[in-house]
Amino acid sequence: MKAIRSVLEFLEGNGVKYVFGIPAGSVNAFYDQLYDFPEITPIVTKHEGAASYMAASYAKYSQQLSVCIGSSGPGGTNLVTGAANAMREHLPILFLTGAVPVSTMGLNASQELDAQAIFQSVTKYSVTVLDSADLLDEIVKATKIALSGVPGPVHVAMPIDVQMGDVGEVSIPALEIERHPSVDPAIVKQAADHLMQKKKGIIFAGQGVRNSVAQVIELAELLNWPIVATPVAKGLFREDHPLFAGVFGFAGKEQTSLLVNEGDAETLLVLGSSLGETATSNYNPNLAKGRFVIQVDFDPTVFDRKYPVDIPMLGDMSDSLQALNEELRTRGLERPLRTKLNETESASNANEVFNTRNVLRKLQEFLPPSTRYTIDIGEFMAYVIHHMEVKEEDTFDINVHFGAMGSGLSAAIGSKLAEPDRPAVAITGDGCFFMHGMEILTAKEYNLPILFIVMNNARLGMVYQGHTLQYKRSHPSFEQEPVNIAAMAAAMNIPSFRVETLEDISQNALDALTNLNGPAILEVALVDNSIPPMGDRVKFLSSFGK
């Protein structure tokens, strides 16, 4: 048996369904063996970077290991940004790269690269395998590391001769994953003691509560405390719940900012947030000033990073919240028998101007409430966070945390593969589209019905707005000649529609672009010179250098 075949048997046996990447000489042995593994589908992308974003989204929404592969040299370096992104999002991805034959290492072989060293700082584990007999063991070890403890990406470099080496008949080992340690019951009681004494507080929820939303809502109802979400947690909580107080941080609502900055909360209960820059509105000291801080997370490195934590609570989020909720119930706290939902703001745009806010809200009127929106990086992202309505839980994927342009396009593909029945819409800009827009062909080749909405303002919008606020001027190179992206789609035989007025958006137009046997593009040709609703970041940028 070739060593690489044993790897594929291990991956198939552990439920891997897709491998994202691009075939090339140093990984062709891997792809050749895939012929014999029909349960694993190779998703051949247009760029390795896009493959890494698809793998990240698939890992997030399938809650399974993702596999992403690239050639030696440039294929590997194209994956590095995606690995760094996965590290920030705690997503288990097995990155595989080819490598030159062991006998030619150090001889300036074609596409030679020390990928192990490059991936070292952006993965939990990175290794180059030099002996065929060790390949399977290293893949098993890396997979265990990716899925154990705090999940994250790992990397294995596989020289071509190592992949093709004969290892005889081997037994495929079982995968053993180290789970999170159980939350300390004494810490749970200590936290409950404090929560029973302090009647006013804020629940500050980050992306770490993605799979624990029901427990967060139960906790909020037991305490009768408002829930504030970080920008990356936009979409996890329905906005019609009376205790949901909106998004704080980048593009957050003013009333949410007032609640955090000037409210009378005595306690800040942080759930699944590392309290980074965009979540805390540039490390706003008012967030924890004069407040008792309890932080719940599975990552011990987040405690006391920027804000002192009075009670760090280490453990799996769902298990920790379940234990805390049970402790509070034993002390007499009860949830309301029925929570009356709030009426949300009407999205009517009758006789309104053609601007980004109105376009996004009108589009949402005509798309199913269960639609998952994967949001790319650009000025439109601020409008999405600030204005778009959360109608169902877990319907927005916003990666402002790492902020890789073009990642939202590929995230839609990964999301659709993980949850085929959920409608998928990518909201991107022309700048992102010109980076990774050809992945719409990947969606076409795999018959994925995804709507790609391209906000086309013929400029790097966030760069333009940032420079204008900071320096009171913007370099003309940030703008470019307008390109008809709908016409580009037509050239690729992909359905498209170009919006040039608010009246162009209708149910008929959206129906013609959705529920197809493949992707479609809706181009919105719009230059909106309003300052995006970036919340306190506008003040931060405007005061730059003062």
Indicate the number of domains in the chain. 3
Residues 160, 192, single domain; the answer is: no
pLDDT, one tens digit per residue, over 281-298 is 999 999 999 999 999 999
Higher confidence at residue 91 or residue 345?
91
Pair (383, 280) in one structural domain: no
Give 532's pLDDT tier (boundaries 50, 70, 90). Answer: confident
How far is residue 87's CA from residue 96's CA, in Å, rounded to a whole number? 16
* Element of type H or E holding 19: strand 18-21
In this structure, are 150 and 248 located in the same domain?
no
**What interhelical angle do 317-330 and 185-197 show, nearest 10?**
50
Is residue 444 a contact partner of residue 515, using CB atoms and an 8 Å limit? Answer: no
Do 389 and 283 sit in the same domain of this protein?
Answer: no
Claim to verify: residue 394 and residue 537 sit in the same structural domain: yes
341 is a domain residue? no
What is the distance between the terminal CA atoms of the chain, rounded to a whole angstrom? 67
- Is residue 107 included in any domain, yes or no? yes
pLDDT at 350 over 60: no
Residue 343 is assigned to a structural domain of this protein: no
Partner residues linked to 128 by β-bridges: 157
Kindly report the average pLDDT of the chain as a whole number: 93
**Cβ distance 222 to 335 under 8 Å?**
yes
Residues 6 or more apart in contact with residue 44 via CB below 8 angstroms? 21, 22, 23, 442, 445
pLDDT tens for each residue of 92-139: 999 999 999 999 888 888 888 999 999 999 999 999 999 999 999 999
Q: What is the largest CA-CA distance in the chain?
A: 73
Residue 537: what are its φ and ψ, rounded to 5°? -65, -25
What is the mean predicted confidence (pLDDT) over 13-30?
96
User: The tokens 């030679």 sit on which residue?
Assistant: 112
Please check whether residue 473 lies inside any domain of the structure. Answer: yes
CA atoms within 13 A on the CB side of 164: 15
In this prediction, what percent of the chain has a pLDDT beyond 70? Answer: 94
Q: What is the DSSP string of 224-287?
A: T--EEE-GGGTTSS-TTSTTEEEE-STT--HHHHHHHHH---SEEEEES----TTTTTTT-GGG
Instruction: Confirm if 512 and 438 have CB atoms less than 8 A apart.
Output: no
Say yes or no: 103 and 221 in one domain.
no
**pLDDT value at position 108?**
82
* pLDDT for res 475: 74
Phi then psi dihedrals of residue 150, to 5 deg: -80, 110
Per the DSSP assignment, residues forming a β-bridge with 295 are 270, 312
Say yes or no: 159 and 307 in one domain.
no
Percentage of the chain exceeding pLDDT 90: 83
Residue finishing a domain among 130, 164, 198: 164
* Residue 109, C-beta contacts closer than 8 angstroms, at least 6 positions apart: 100, 101
* Cβ-Cβ contacts under 8 Å for 81 (sequence gap 6 or more): 49, 52, 404
Give yes or no for residue 464 having a pLDDT over 80: no
Q: What is the CATH number of the domain that holds 472?
A: 3.40.50.970
**Side-chain half-sphere exposure of 296, counting CA atoms within 13 A:** 33
At residue 400, the pLDDT reads 86
pLDDT tops 80 at residue 468: no
In this prediction, residues 396-403 reach a mean pLDDT of: 89
Angle at 374 between CA 373 and CA 375, to 5 degrees: 105
Q: Of 134, 185, 183, 187, give the one whose Cα is nearest residue 158.
A: 134
- The candidate with the shortest Cα–Cα distance to 373, out of 416, 448, 424, 418, is 424
Tokens of 508: 């008929």
Q: Are residues 37 and 90 in the same domain?
A: yes
Q: Are 154 and 145 in contact (CB under 8 A)?
A: yes
Instruction: Specify if 410 maps to a domain.
Output: yes
Same domain membership, residue 152 and residue 268: no
* Entry pTM: 0.94
In this structure, the number of other CB atoms found within 10 A of the CB of residue 529 comes to: 9
* Gap between the Cα atoms of 227 and 66, Å rounded: 32
Contacting residues for 320 by C-beta, under 8 A, at least 6 apart? 183, 188, 296, 313
**Domain assignment present for 350:** no
* Same domain, yes or no: 481 and 531: yes
> CA torsion 140→143→148→154, rounded to 10°?
130
Which of 131, 164, 197 corresponds to the end of one domain? Answer: 164
340 located within any domain: no
For residues 62 and 38, the answer to whether their CB atoms sit within 8 Å is: no
Block residue for tokens 């590997």 = 76
Last residue of a domain, one of 133, 164, 195: 164
Would you say residue 335 lies in a domain?
A: no
* 419 in the same domain as 514: yes
Q: How many helices and strands in the chain, by DSSP H and E?
A: 20, 18
CATH of the domain at 196: 3.40.50.1220
Regarding whether 511 and 416 lie in a shared domain, the answer is yes
Q: Residue ranges of the alpha helices (H) in 68-177?
A: 74-89, 115-120, 132-147, 160-164
Q: Which domain holds residue 250?
A: 185-330
